[in-house]
Structure 1
């Protein structure tokens, strides 16, 4: 088959498709909540958020492209196949049916439809909406070859038009100024708190998961040379990153300027709904509903598709259609426990998995410097796993922090940056340096 090159038009659509896959529930609510919480320390907080919420997803997509694997399993297999199976399954369950996908329907409902539904009908209405939401996502995911059309050319442009209309009013007619006192955690550690807040978008994990969709979209356009696929993947990631960075900054600004009009809320979804009603009245509620439903639906289609594709590759005897039915059915049930609860139970999972994912991404990008040697992968991942487990345990509800568990968590206090969920950084660096040096010494002697 003759190799083709991506045209600028194709590259743009793949980039917008990737942006559409990324920009879902958390991407709307977390930067708004950050802006509300950071106050006049918004600049360092946003910079930290952009590094973890934009930079890491871009690096994740680049790592898939540069490692010339077609997904997270291929990258994780450089540590070892048993690790690759465990890590891939946990990652896809987390960003799929267990945590990320359920909150898509919950956010859509709580922001978009909740204001229109009487209190006594809320539970029934959420159940019906969840059924319609995941039924639609499942139908669109049944044909994965059409995902660039559905997301890149239809859902994402419609979503952007609606969101830009709201953000335009926020920028042109701000509700208030920026001289707002930050909450406690943003007073002295705004950058690191913003960085760890970026975890909640789950986009670095999603970057690993969506890599397979981008690679296949490029291959479906006739590109066959590995280097061209890698370059196209990186360029598409850069296009997506630009869109995301701009929107994150404006959304954080929106949350900050809303403090003069509204009290601090328990999550960013409530703030978005209040702001839309402030500018557009009842029409604002309708605009909000359009924005969040489109944002969450396109990401839901991507997550369900990625889950089906990956599990089909991991377990070839399984049926793709049954896999995506499960990937839509499980979150249909979990979506009804409420947004705040979903966010709370996902935090320990993210604090555990994110450090391992970040290190795996960086190793994939740096692989040429150490000859892709397996000992470097194994040692560095081993060094980062223990502090990652401690961070995950520390993020468990405070009511569980007693006895033996508290004694184990206290070990994390010996790690620099542990209180900011960054206790893994020094062990990861030490593990990499030691294994890198050993590999280089052996190479010289051999």
Structure 2
């Protein structure tokens, strides 16, 4: 059995890190840091669970299940199709890819444009170039390891380390005080903030990209592919945790000096301008663009690979073209509109994704039991979807009132207890039926 070399494994791990690490991953930790102040490390520890732990487990779950489709089919074939399509659409052309295209412009380019330049025209030109490069990189998924692992990811890491190193050479100041829920409910706030990275959902998508990347290196044995996927996930997870910790520190120190800003991009702008002066704006623009570009390429690739399996009429390359063009058009709607839609959608499907990963991790016990998977996801989904609908103004009074009385509802985690109840109920039914069947066999004998 041929295994991936250490060098190639490192490159795949770097590639996976770059797929995960988009602009959202860049701006959320600094904002978390400035808002948490002296409680930064407690909040960050909870943030790691949903922003690092579950994404890594997601890669492992998909690898062990031989694809997201196989994993979701354990619930129900109809659910498998609907949920998988919804995941790929939300993390891809409807939310994730347009956000990756518009965010670097809004945060690192628009603030420095002269008043005489139209933001609308500038955004159009920026996204044309951005998505043209994304399109070119996505056309050859088998070359992603070399292009991203050897070039784009190291460049991104170097730029981030330069920014953070500057904060130690020219210190920003002491941490400030925690504000709002960051002070009153630091653990739960950090846990929920991890949703915004989208990485647990993205992990379900990127499994197919990682598998292709590993196979492109001549690895064909299924066990070797799974093993390499797990190791690549761990490499990416460690890198994510380290970078998040550094960025959170930068945000906490920046908050102590400049106070609270509206978002993490402004936090980074304040910090880099203070440390590097005007060149800091260029550094930040490069970091944002590279972070978004690598994530965008990963999303276009994974979505195109999946949708090309649904129909023979549209090839992989045509899906790349379709997703690139549609995402570019949506990116020109502006970041604010994109983000206003993304939060409720994430709150609806993130808990389901988390529980699918949990179930997959214990599948050596559950053995793909439809009753366990089905009841767990049913109980989780009813609460998470109803909760998300309430956030956009669609409230079913009876269900809303019931959800509000559930444990952890005030912390935004009303789905947790129903999920556990569904899992326990499924386990009881499964093993109850097995015991009954065994007794009948013994009786007949």
Residues 393-446 of structure 1: per-residue CA shift (max 9 Å, x gap)? 2332xxx37xx5455433311211122221111111111111112211222332
Map 1:92-131 onto structure 2 (within 5 A).
92-120=88-116, 121-131=118-128
**Contact 1:45 1:190 survives alignment (8 Å):** yes
Moved over 6 A (4+): none
Q: Counterpart in 2 of 1:242?
A: 238
In structure 1, the partner of 2:440 is none
Equivalent residue, structure 2, for 1:421: 412
Aligned residue in 2 for 1:233: 229
Among candidates 367, 370, 381, match of residue 371 of structure 1:
367
Alpha carbons 1:312, 1:319 under 8 Å: kept: yes
Decide which moves more: 214-223 or 109-118. Answer: 109-118
Aligned to 1:32: 30
> Is the CA contact 2:35–2:182 (under 8 Å) kept in the aligned structure 1?
yes
Q: How does 1:35-54 map to 2 (within 5 A)?
A: 35-54=33-52
**1:312 corresponding residue in structure 2:** 308
Q: Secondary structure at the match of 2:109?
A: helix
CA deviation after TM superposition for structure 1 residue 274, in Å? 2.2
Separation of aligned partners in 1, 2:266 and 2:337:
15
**1:261 Cα deviation from its structure 2 partner:** 3.3
1:141 aligns with 2:138: yes
Note the 1:3-402 alignment, pairs <5 A: 3-67=1-65, 69=66, 71-120=67-116, 121-178=118-175, 180-396=176-392, 400=393
Q: Distance between the aligned counterparts of 1:119 and 1:208, measured in 2? A: 43
What CA distance in whole angstroms lies between the structure 2 residues aligned with 1:176 and 1:331? 40
Q: Classify the secondary structure of the residue corresponding to 2:4.
A: coil
Q: Give, in whole Å, the separation in 1 of the partners of 2:171 and 2:399.
A: 47
- Count of residues paired in the alignment: 436
CA offsets 1:248-298 (integer angstroms, 9 cap, x no match): 111111111112332422221122122211111121111111111111111
* Superposed CA RMSD: 1.5
CA distance in 2, matches of 1:256, 1:406: 40
TM-score, length basis structure 2: 0.94
Deviation string for 1:1-51 (max 9, x for gaps)? Answer: xx4111111111110010010001110011111111112221211011111
Secondary structure of 2:246's aligned partner = helix
